[in-house]
Each structure stands twice: as structure tokens, then as C-alpha cells.
């Protein structure tokens, strides 16, 4: 055989070999023929004669779900710092359970509850997210706090088996994200809240729907939930427009009696408020923003008060104007804004409080314009006059209850809740009068204590009925709103006494903050010490500890 030439021995370009490749002509010894004395064998080597079947493992990521993992038997994750101090029972209201889990980091949340409404093919994720956003939209547009809206959205998602979801609520935007696993793409949906309407009957119906969805014994399909939600949207308001106008007039009349007015003042304040309400409806029908609606609505009560002063009628014109302002003060938005700030939703709280400030500015501008022209025409309005100087406990108690009753009608509450909120308003004014008039305490401390009782009783009533606390608290704080301080501050500014006016307006703002903080503190106290029936040893809901401040 002829020896191969140099060109034949030269490796081709695609035959590159490593330096550790065996040289040509060297035979690699087989393990079966190697002597046991000279071979180096690991103690973990498989003995001879024992054949282990080789299984082809599919190549996958380290984040793939283990084959032994089962969602139905998943254990709760224990963080490095220990087990979280969270105790949840099925007897607790869904608001507490969802709120507690939302306040925990994702890795520290308890194991998911058993899914009750999951088909064989799994839940339709986009439809579940859409239903969740629509429910959250109705709650946020109805004035519910951001934390309660997130808790409701989280409850709806978990009811249909979507446990790894994160809702996010701001003042005008709702979004929710669901991620099936660490390696799957997340599904995110959002919805914008463009219109806001006060209808606590609709709010209660939405809460009832969420409560039914969270009940493991109630089976509600997606189609049934959509049908009930559509019925809630189509339902008409429980009170017609003329009833709302009459209620606004009675509210203003009751507020005027509350600050020292008589029968003539009651009638004048009622007429001014009803006229302002109709003008605001006219502006709303023309598409004017709410700022101008508040400005226009504040003018008729002030004009009637100035007219009575120019006509030298022996009545308290300041009580007429103050009563007309009570129907316009945005107590509902103020309480919701402060609640969002206290629970950590600072962006939403800032937006709500900015909205309240714009409403206040609109009211001030409307009253200021009328008072300025009244002073120029010679109206003798005294900014140092003291309202509610004569203590009339029975009349004031009756006026406070009438004010809460009409406020509940304006909020479109259910007829079954009107009586309870009326009694709650009477309790609020009784506590305020006992502390301020009889006890001699400051108005701010008395207002905060009375508002705290309103929040406490409102939270207890809402838990008894498994509903929102807003219908039981918002109307009850009506008698505590700072209408007189707002009026006297505006009057002093109209008479070029800016310093005294700013002091009075600052007092009004302080009273408003005392009301909002008191209501929220009363609600939190009721959650902390409320015992859940049927729980072992009595399980309470922990306070809202979000951070340590550093």
C-alpha cells in the first residue's frame, strides 16, 4: 500500500480537532477489558452487571414548575424572617381577608384558597380581568376608597382562580396584572374612570355581588356575574330628581336651624338651596365642569341672605348663607381623600384632596362675588357674629337628624339604611354638643371624637350587613361639617380683612381634617377589636402596618 502523501495527512478546514484528541493509530482501551487493579474507579461508580435504564430528560428552564407541584396542595411560603403574624379565617369578612393579603408582599401571602369556579379548561383570563375592572370602576366612581377597591378586585380574581394578580388603583385609572408563572408572559388590562356619580344603592349592589363571588358555597359563573353587573348598571336611582331638590332644600334649612336660625331662616335657606340645585343641574346639562356648578350653586343662598339684610328683615342672614353652604361642602370626597392618604395611597389621596380644594374654591368664589356686591350696596354683614350662641339641644338634635336624613337621600342610599344613618347622625351631634357646649372642649377635639364614633358605628353596621361603610358614615358626618367657619372666612375676605378670613378658613380646613381622620380612626379601631363569630379563640384583624418609617 502506498504511503499517504503530506496533502492527504493534512486535516481539512472542517476537521479541526482539540489538542486532547487521541492521536491517530492509538487505540483507546475498553473498560470491560481493563484490569481491576490498574483502573481507577470512583466509589460511586455503578457496579458491573447492573444496568440503569437511561431516561431522556427534556431540556428546560430552572424556573419550570416541578413535576410534583400541585396548585391544589401548595404550601404557604415561609419568608426568611419567619411566619407573618397574619391569621385569616373563612368566618372573617372578605374585605378583611383580601385587605390583609394585599398588605403583604407577594412572597409572604398565605396559600391560595381552593378554587370553586374553575372549568376544566381553566378560567378565561381576559374575561375575568375585564369583569374585575368593571366592578372596580363602579366602586371607584361611587366614592369608595382606593384600598377597598383593590380588595374587591383582588377578591373577584381569586374567586375565579387567578391568585397571582396585582390590582392597582389611582384616581382615574384602574389596572390589573396577572402572571400565570415566572416564565409566562403577564396579562395586563386597564380601565379609565371618566365619570363619577353618587349612588350608594348601586354601590351596595356591587358589594353584594363581590360578597357572593367570594362565598365558596355560592356558584356564580362568569356569564351570571356579567348579567348581574349589567342589571346594576341599568337600575334607576331610587329617588327622582324632584325629591333630590326638595332634600337639598330641607338639608339647608336643617343646617340653618342647627346654627341658630328660626322658621323664616329655615324657609329662606331651603329656597336658596333648591334654586342653587336647579341652576347646578342646568349647568351640568350644558356640559360645564363641576367647578362652575359649585360656583353657581353657592350664589342663590348668599343672594337671599344679602337681600334679607338689605330689606332690614330681623333674621340671621348669616344662618341663611351658612345653611345653603352645608349642601355643597364636599364631605364625601374629603373623607375618601384622607382615608387614601392614611392607608398609603398618596397619589390618589393627593388627587382627591386637590379635587376638594377646587370645590372649596368654587364655593368661595360664588359666595364672595355675591357678598362683595352686597357690601357695595350697603348690606351690613358682621363677620364677628357668633352663630349657635343660643343652646337649644332638642331643636339642634332634631335638625341634625333631619340633616343626616336628607343627606342620605341626596347620596341615593337604600331606604333600609336611611333610618340607621339618621340615628348615627343624631349620635354624632349629641357627642359633639356634650363635649363642646357642656364640657367646654375645643371644636376640633369635639368634632374628631364625634366623627370617630360615626366611623366606629358605621363600620359595625357595614360588617353586620357585609356591605360598604360609606352609606353609614358619609351622611352621618353632615351635622359636623364646617359651614359657618367657611362662611365667616369668606365674609371677612370680602370686607378686606384677609388675615381674619384666612384664620377662619384655616379653622374650617382643620375641622374637615378632624372629621376625616376621626371617621377613619373609628373604622380602624372597630377592625382591630372586632371579634369574628365562630373563629377559634376570636380572631381579630391586625392594624394596617405597612412600614416602620425607614
User: pLDDT digits over 124-161, tens only?
Assistant: 788 889 999 999 999 988 888 888 898 889 888 888 87
CA distance 410 to 420: 16
Residue 538: HSE in the Cβ half-sphere, 13 Å Cα cutoff: 5
pLDDT of residue 116: 45
Give me the torsion for CA of 271, 272, 278, 282, rounded to 10°.
150
Ordered alpha helix ranges (H), 186-289: 200-214, 222-234, 241-258, 263-285
For 268-287, how does the pLDDT look when each residue is reduced to its tens digit (9 = 90+)? 999 999 999 999 989 988 88
Residue predicted with more confidence, 21 or 317: 317
Is 543 exposed, middle or buried (CB count within 10 Å of its CB: 0-12, 13-18, 19+)?
exposed
Judge whether 256 and 265 are in contact, CB under 8 Å.
yes
Q: What is the Cα–Cα distance from 259 to 404, expressed in whole angstroms?
A: 15
So what's the pLDDT on residue 107? 53
For residues 205 and 235, the answer to whether their CB atoms sit within 8 Å is: yes
Three-class SS state of 194: coil
| pLDDT at residue 315 is higher than 50 | yes
* C-alpha–C-alpha distance, residues 36 and 229, integer Å: 80
pLDDT in tens, 222-266: 888 899 999 988 877 788 888 889 999 999 999 888 887 788 889
pLDDT at 391 over 90: no
Lookup: cell for 235: 337600575
**For residues 520 and 337, is the Cβ–Cβ distance under 8 A?**
no
Chain segment 319-364, per-residue pLDDT in tens: 888 888 888 888 778 778 888 888 888 888 898 889 888 888 888 8
Rounded CA separation 305/310 (Å): 9
Residues β-bridged to residue 173: 192
Output the CA torsion sign for 535, 536, 538, 541: negative
As beta bridge partners, residue 509 has none
Which residue shows C-alpha cell 354683614?
A: 381
CB–CB of 126/189 below 8 Å?
yes
Is the CB of residue 204 less than 8 Å from the CB of residue 144? no
Q: Give the domain ranges of the chain.
A: 94-234, 241-529
Name beta bridge partners: 169.
Answer: 174
Predicted pLDDT at 50: 55
For residues 469-485, b (16+ Cβ closer than 10 Å) or e, as one string? bbbbbbbbbbbbbbbbb
State what percent of residues in the chain have pLDDT above 70.
71
Contact assessment for residue 475 and residue 404, using Cβ atoms and an 8 Å cutoff: yes
C-alpha cell at 469: 361603610
| Residue 190: pLDDT band with limits 50, 70, 90 | very high
| Residue 215 reports pLDDT greater than 50 | yes
Amino acid at each position: 500500500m502506498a504511503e499517504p502523501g503530506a496533502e492527504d495527512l493534512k486535516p481539512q478546514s472542517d476537521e479541526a480537532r482539540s489538542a486532547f484528541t487521541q492521536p491517530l493509530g492509538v487505540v483507546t482501551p475498553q473498560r470491560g477489558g481493563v484490569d481491576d487493579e490498574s483502573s481507577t474507579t470512583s466509589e460511586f461508580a455503578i457496579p458491573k452487571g447492573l444496568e440503569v435504564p437511561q431516561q431522556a430528560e427534556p431540556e428546560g428552564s430552572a424556573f419550570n414548575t416541578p413535576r410534583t407541584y400541585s396548585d391544589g396542595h401548595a404550601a404557604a411560603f415561609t419568608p426568611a424572617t419567619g411566619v407573618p403574624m397574619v391569621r385569616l379565617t373563612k368566618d372573617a369578612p372578605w374585605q378583611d381577608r383580601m385587605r390583609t393579603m394585599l398588605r403583604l408582599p407577594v412572597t409572604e401571602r398565605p396559600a391560595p384558597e381552593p378554587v370553586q369556579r374553575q372549568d376544566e379548561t381553566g378560567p378565561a383570563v381576559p374575561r375575568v380581568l375585564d369583569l374585575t375592572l368593571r366592578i372596580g370602576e363602579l366602586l371607584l366612581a361611587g366614592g369608595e376608597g382606593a384600598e377597598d377597591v383593590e380588595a374587591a378586585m383582588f377578591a373577584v380574581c381569586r374567586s375565579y382562580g387567578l391568585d397571582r394578580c396585582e390590582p392597582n388603583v389611582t384616581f382615574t385609572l384602574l389596572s390589573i396584572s396577572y402572571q400565570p408563572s415566572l416564565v409566562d408572559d403577564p396579562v395586563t388590562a386597564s380601565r379609565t374612570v371618566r365619570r363619577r356619580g353618587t349612588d350608594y344603592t348601586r354601590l351596595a349592589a356591587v358589594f353584594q355581588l363581590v360578597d357572593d363571588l367570594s362565598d365558596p358555597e355560592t356558584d356564580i359563573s362568569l356569564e351570571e356575574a356579567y348579567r348581574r353587573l349589567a342589571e346594576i348598571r341599568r337600575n334607576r336611582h331610587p329617588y327622582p330628581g324632584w325629591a333630590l331638590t326638595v332634600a337639598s332644600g330641607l338639608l339647608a334649612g336643617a343646617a340653618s336651624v342647627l346654627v341658630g336660625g328660626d322658621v323664616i331662616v329655615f324657609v329662606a335657606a331651603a329656597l336658596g338651596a333648591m334654586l342653587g340645585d336647579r341652576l347646578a343641574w342646568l349647568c351640568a346639562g350644558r356640559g360645564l365642569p363641576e367647578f362652575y356648578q359649585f360656583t353657581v350653586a353657592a350664589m342663590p343662598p348668599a343672594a337671599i341672605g344679602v337681600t334679607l339684610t338689605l330689606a332690614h328683615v330681623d333674621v340671621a342672614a348669616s344662618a341663611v348663607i351658612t345653611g345653603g353652604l352645608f349642601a355643597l361642602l364636599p364631605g364625601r370626597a374629603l373623607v375618601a381623600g384622607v382615608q387614601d392618604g392614611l392607608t398609603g395611597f398618596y397619589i390618589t389621596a393627593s388627587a382627591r384632596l386637590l379635587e376638594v380644594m377646587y370645590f372649596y374654591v368654587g364655593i368661595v368664589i360664588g359666595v364672595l362675588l355675591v357678598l362683595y356686591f352686597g357690601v357695595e350696596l350697603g348690606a351690613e354683614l358682621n363677620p364677628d357674629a357668633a352663630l349657635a350662641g343660643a343652646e337649644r339641644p332638642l331643636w339642634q338634635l332634631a335638625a341634625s337628624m333631619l340633616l343626616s336624613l336628607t343627606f342620605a337621600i341626596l347620596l341615593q342610599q337604600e331606604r333600609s339604611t336611611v333610618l340607621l344613618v339618621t340615628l348615627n347622625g343624631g349620635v354624632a351631634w349629641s357627642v359633639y354638643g356634650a363635649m363642646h357646649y357642656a364640657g367646654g372642649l375645643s371644636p376640633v377635639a369635639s368634632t374628631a371624637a364625634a366623627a370617630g364614633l360615626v366611623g366606629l358605628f358605621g363600620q359595625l353596621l357595614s360588617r353586620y350587613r357585609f356591605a360598604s361603610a360609606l352609606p353609614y358614615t358619609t351622611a352621618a358626618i353632615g351635622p359636623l361639617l364646617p359651614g359657618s367657619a367657611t362662611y365667616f372666612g369668606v365674609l371677612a375676605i370680602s370686607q378686606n380683612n384677609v388675615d381674619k378670613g384666612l384664620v377662619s378658613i384655616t379653622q374650617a380646613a382643620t375641622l374637615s381634617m378632624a372629621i376625616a381622620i376621626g371617621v377613619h380612626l373609628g373604622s380602624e379601631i372597630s377592625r382591630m377589636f372586632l371579634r369574628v363569630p365562630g373563629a377559634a379563640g376570636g380572631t381579630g384583624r391586625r392594624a394596617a402596618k405597612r412600614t416602620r418609617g425607614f
